[in-house]
Structures are given as C-alpha cells and as structure tokens.
Amino acid sequence: MGVRRRAGGFVLLVNPILCDGFGHCAELAPDLVHVDEWGYPVIVTEPVPLANLAALESARYAVRGCPRQALRIERVSDAH
Ligand code: SF4
C-alpha cells in the first residue's frame, strides 16, 4: 500500500464587491496574487495542486488575513 497523494487542486477567489483594493493579500500570498494598477488583486486562475502545500498554506494565510473576508478557497478536481 503506497502513500496516498492529495488529488485535485484549488483556486483562490475574490469577491470584488467586498474587496477594498488595498492589496494586503498580495503581501500574504505573493505567489498567487498580484495587484493591478489600482491595487485590486489579480489572482492566478490556473488551479494549483492541493499537493502544493506551500501554496495552499499561503492561500489560507491570505484568506485569514483579508480584512474584508473577500477571499475564499475553492477546490477543483482538474488540477494538473
Ligand atoms: S486583502 Fe482582501 S480586501 Fe484586501 S485587496 Fe486582498 S481581497 Fe481585497
């Protein structure tokens, strides 16, 4: 019996109505979030494998650190 790998992936999603555009999330998850010229987050849309624990932790950090609770992590099944 081998070690079971975590299948699937995740994407970090922003609710643009709640977002204040100060770009705090880009500091908390710089690999996943960049800010546009107005300070609003531009998030990587390609699913990230759940096995990428560093990226997952970084996304969780951003979700917890968002002052407007505008971020959420959504699981997807087709990460490569
Ligand atoms: S931390 Fe939250 S409120 Fe601030 S820019 Fe990012 S998503 Fe928007």
- CATH assignment at residue 42: 3.30.70.20
With tokens 């109505």, the residue in question is: 17
Nearest-atom index, ligand 1, CA of 33: 6
Residue-wise pLDDT for 7-56, tens only, equals 899 999 999 999 999 999 999 999 999 999 998 999 989 999 999 999 99
Count of domains forming the chain:
1
Tell me which residue range forms the domain holding 44: 9-76
Question: Taking the model in full, what pTM does it have?
Answer: 0.87
Task: Report if residue 4 sits inside a domain.
Answer: no
Task: Report if residue 65 sits inside a domain.
Answer: yes
Structure token pair of residue 16? 């643009």
Most ligand 1 atoms within 8 A of CB, residue of 44, 68, 69, 73 to mutate: 68
Residue-wise pLDDT for 11-20, tens only, equals 999 999 999 9
Short-list 6, 2, 8, 25, CA closest to 80: 8
Per DSSP, the three-state class of 27 is: helix
Task: Report if residue 3 sits inside a domain.
Answer: no
Task: Report if residue 29 sits inside a domain.
Answer: yes
